[in-house]
Amino acid sequence: MLQILYCGDFMVTRKFTVVLEPAEEGGFVVKCLELPVATQGETREEALKNIKEAIEGYLEVKAKLLHGKIRGEKVEVIVEAPSTLLA
């Protein structure tokens, strides 16, 4: 899933992995593996639309909270992880 993340004065595109599961009461539950974000929807399409909006909202609030508070050098780190975490 492609996602927009606010970073300074410009936007960047990010990918996040979500898990879509059938809900016991019907519909679907969808959770983001990288962020503490989850939601639901009556259909698969609605659940995916809702998780995208939830991720955008989470990142927007986080960007506002962190704006001007981050000091030091930002470094991107690449790690190896079991493939089951990325499914």
Q: What is the pTM of this model?
A: 0.73
pLDDT at 11: 74
pLDDT at 86: 59
pLDDT at 56: 93
Name the nearest CA neighbour of 34 among 9, 22, 51.
51
Contacts of 52 (CB under 8 A, 6+ apart): 1, 3
Q: Which fold has domain 2-86?
A: Double Stranded RNA Binding Domain (3.30.160)
Sign of CA dihedral 14, 30, 64, 71: negative
**Tens-digit pLDDT profile for the chain (87 aa)?**
444 554 555 677 889 999 999 999 999 999 999 999 999 999 999 999 999 999 999 998 998 888 777 777 878 888 887 877 655
Boundaries of every domain in the chain: 2-86
